[in-house]
Amino acid sequence: LSSYVLGHSHGEIAGRLATPLGTVKARIRRGLLKLRECLS
């Protein structure tokens, strides 16, 4: 959400959450896939 609505980069989100960048990217990807399922 933060990436798409607020325009934060994946790196900015990772820094704010103190979470590895790969984890943030994976969570965003999974969330988008679930959203796609809900909308189809």
pLDDT at 26: 96
**Per-residue DSSP letter, 18:** T
pLDDT tens per residue, range 24-38 = 999 999 999 999 999
Q: Which domain holds residue 35?
A: 10-39
The number of domains in the chain is: 1
* Cα 3 from Cα 28, distance rounded (Å): 9
Cα 21 from chain centroid? 10
Residue 18 in any domain: the answer is yes
Residue 1 in any domain: the answer is no
Q: What's the token pair of residue 19?
A: 């979470």
> Which position has the token pair 């679930």?
34
Least confident segment among 5-9, 13-17, 25-29: 5-9
**Per-residue DSSP letter, 6:** S
Report residue 22's pLDDT band, with 50, 70 and 90 as the boundaries: very high
pLDDT at 3 over 90: no
pLDDT at 4 over 80: no
